Amino acid sequence: MEQTYFKIHPQVLRIDSTIPFDVYIRNIDGEYAQFHSKDTAYTAHFHNFIFINSLSELFVKKSDANNYFFYLENIFSEVLNDPFIGNKEKAFIAHGTITTIAMNLFQNVNAATALRYKKAIKPITEFVLKNDDSVKHLIMLTSNQYHEYNHPVNVGIFGMGLAKEMLNPEEHNLTEVFTGFFLHDIGKYTIPKEIYQKNSPLTEQEWVIMKKHPQFGYDLLKKYNLLTPESEVIVLQHHERHNGTGYPAGLNRDQIHTYSKICSIADAFDALSAYRPFRDAQSSYRALEIMREEMKNEFDNEFFKKFVLLFRNQGLD
């Protein structure tokens, strides 16, 4: 029974808004009772009931998760800045909302959804920069179940963590840098699904097509009018490698932009940590070990060391 519902914070329900999901309360026997019906206005009456009864948690059915996060998307900034909501809950909200949009983008790549995705990254950037424990909470939510829509979200999260350690917000437009991380693989969506979703290693010919995804991503963002100097370098260079073995241009060392160095570490780490049908997921510890030993010269060492510290300092490895 427990599995069918997830907990929400009562504070996220805004008075006078229409709520597109049913809301439940749990009684002392652990039974769920409907508190508020879908598609009706959430009035002050409901809010007062919560206040009078000191309810600190409400519940939503997992089958309504998309509607819940869609509702949050419209009040995203307000919720992420609400002092009555804790950072762990905010991280859950941020992660769920951005993952829902990433899923929509994956299902149908278009300019309007790409813009929704980009708009949601600004409040997340503020949340991450303002709160020391935000990255830790977000990392704990990253899924190791590889999917084309949770990979960019994971890379966004790991990238934000590392960028926060390395880049001064006064000198860089971090909203745009973070947006680049979340969009780094958008070009993959224009590659035939049988190639990028293949459940076995790619053939040589398929690799030739796959390796075009940085350029396709650049073209797509340009077409959507979403290309910025930050997303341009990240999308084009995230597969370049420190020792020159990457693609598409075979750049090396400081020919590779700082933002792309960060993205390539986050990207490789997520690819190793994720479960793929053709190999097991690696633990964070093991993924970092593979990067340090087997992929030794592929990353800028100074950046890589900071990335390892990110996990150690947060007690996550």
SS3 assignment, position 38: coil
* Residue 252 φ then ψ, to 5°: -140, 165
Q: Considering CB under 5 A, how many residues would be counted as binding Fe ion?
A: 2
Minimum CB separation of residue 160 from Fe ion in Å reads 15
Asked if residues 262 and 163 have their Cβ atoms less than 8 Å apart, the reply is: yes
Pattern 43-72, binding to Fe ion, x per CB under 5 A? ------------------------------
Select the span of 42-50, 253-261, 264-272, 308-316 touching Fe ion (CB under 5 A). 264-272
x/- mask, Fe ion, residues 151-190, rule CB under 5 A, reads: ----------------------------------x-----
User: Which residues contact residue 11 at a Cβ distance below 8 angstroms, ignoring those fewer than 6 apart?
Assistant: 79, 82, 84, 85
Cβ proximity to Fe ion: between 240 and 267 the closer is 267
At 163, the amino acid letter reads A
Residues β-bridged to residue 221: none
Question: Six-digit token pair at 30?
Answer: 């652990």
CA atoms of 120 and 310, how far apart (whole Å): 24
Instruction: Quickly count helices (H) and strands (E) in the chain.
Output: 15, 6
CA distance 256 to 267: 15
**Contact with Fe ion (CB under 5 A) among 73, 232, 240, 267:** 267
Paired tokens of 206: 């398929």
* Least distance to Fe ion, CB of residue 34, Å: 41
Q: Find the shortest distance in angstroms from Cβ 268 to Fe ion.
A: 9
Is residue 240 involved in binding Fe ion (CB under 5 A)?
no
Rounded to a whole number of angstroms, the minimum distance from the CB of residue 130 to Fe ion is: 27
Stretch that binds Fe ion, among 16-24, 120-128, 262-270, 273-281 (CB under 5 A): 262-270
For the CB of residue 158, give the shortest distance to Fe ion in the complex, in Å. 11
Give yes or no for a cis peptide into 169 (omega within 30° of 0): no
The site for Fe ion (CB under 5 A) is made up of 185, 267
